[in-house]
């Protein structure tokens, strides 16, 4: 197993062509994340890690596949979401981690064919209660969201505010100058961003996520970026559908613990 450099990414790209998650593109295009493979020249199996997400592709029966599945770098924390779209890799994850992994479904959406209703999205923003304010993530907000577990992923994949300002995009909802909701770029790739969205407990079911996500989508569209959406639960599926995304399919994910 060897860690790959940016110049090696195109060598593993064909192995991941069956997966549509844009987080993979973030790594393949050199923006963020890390990758490993059994070899640099003509790799047969590979692993990509971006933030909390880990993807496997290629031949799960090759000698280095289990080594890749066992690879959880220190910086990944206590758990990691593993995704492959292949039964062989899924079996290998289960065999390797046993009761230290939890199988569940995430939900994918079609990419790039939406015809977003701009007026409807603007309406969600306009209907937001005046007690709330939607603001872009500036240096002050960047520092605030990274202080809290529920909001840190709005900017967690960026090494600094300067990098976020250059590559990322995001908005937060303020209530009495406190961040209570946000929609931001979890990751970035050439054509757009992967959306991260969350609302602070106690502020849910008030339309904050809808309005904040609508603002992010409209801004992406105005900048020629695609606002990609992937859902962790049925609540996120419902919100995405409301905003104009088209559901594609559920797919198997493993939350793996050290």
CATH value at residue 34: 3.40.630.110
- Does pLDDT of 95 surpass 90? yes
237 lies in the same domain as 130: yes
- Does pLDDT of 244 surpass 90? yes
- Does pLDDT of 31 surpass 90? yes
Does residue 254 lie within any of the structural domains?
no
> Which of 217, 133, 225, 112 is closest to 178 using CA atoms?
133
23 lies in the same domain as 78: yes
pLDDT in tens, 126-137: 999 999 999 999
Return the CATH number at 167.
Answer: 3.40.630.30
The DSSP call for residue 138 is -
Domains identified in the chain, total number: 2
The DSSP call for residue 210 is H
pLDDT in tens, 188-201: 999 999 999 999 99
Q: Give the structural domain span for 49.
A: 2-109
Does residue 36 lie within any of the structural domains?
yes
Q: Go through 115-153 and write b for each residue having 16 or more CB atoms within 10 A of its CB, e for each that does not.
A: ebeeeebeebbeebeeebebbebeeebbebbeeeeebeb
230 lies in the same domain as 129: yes
The 10 Å Cβ neighbour count of residue 257 is 12
Structure tokens at 61: 């029966």
Q: What are phi and psi of 107, to 5 degrees?
A: -130, 125
133 lies in the same domain as 74: no
Q: Is-contact 22 41, C-beta < 8 A?
A: no
Give dist(CA 258, CA 241) in Å, integer. Answer: 35
Q: Is-contact 121 214, C-beta < 8 A?
A: yes
pLDDT in tens, 33-90: 999 999 999 999 999 999 999 999 999 999 999 999 999 999 998 899 999 999 999 9
91 lies in the same domain as 153: no
Structure tokens at 250: 């559920």
- Does pLDDT of 21 surpass 90? yes
135 lies in the same domain as 239: yes
126 lies in the same domain as 230: yes
């Amino acid at each position: 197993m060897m860690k790959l450099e940016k110049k090696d990414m195109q060598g593993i790209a064909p192995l991941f062509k069956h997966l549509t998650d844009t987080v993979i593109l973030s790594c393949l295009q050199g923006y963020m994340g890390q990758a490993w493979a059994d070899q640099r020249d003509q790799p047969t199996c590979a692993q990509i890690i971006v933030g909390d997400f880990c993807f496997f592709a290629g031949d799960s029966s090759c000698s280095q596949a289990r080594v890749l599945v066992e690879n959880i770098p220190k910086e990944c924390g206590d758990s990691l979401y593993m995704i492959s779209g292949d039964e062989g890799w899924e079996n290998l994850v289960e065999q390797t981690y046993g009761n230290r992994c939890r199988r569940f479904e995430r939900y994918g959406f079609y990419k790039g064919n939406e015809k977003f209703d701009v007026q409807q999205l603007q309406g969600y923003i306009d209907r937001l209660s005046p007690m709330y304010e939607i603001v872009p993530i500036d240096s002050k907000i960047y520092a605030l969201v990274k202080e809290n577990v529920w909001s840190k992923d709005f900017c967690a994949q960026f090494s600094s505010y300067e990098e976020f300002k250059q590559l990322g995009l995001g908005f937060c909802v303020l209530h009495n100058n406190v961040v209570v909701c946000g929609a931001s770029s979890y990751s970035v790739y050439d054509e757009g961003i992967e959306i991260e969205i969350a609302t602070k407990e106690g502020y849910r079911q008030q339309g904050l996520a809808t309005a904040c996500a609508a603002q992010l989508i409209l801004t992406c569209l105005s900048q020629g970026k695609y606002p990609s959406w992937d859902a962790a639960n049925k609540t996120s599926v419902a919100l995405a559908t409301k905003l104009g995304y088209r559901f594609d399919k559920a797919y198997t994910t493993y939350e793996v613990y050290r």
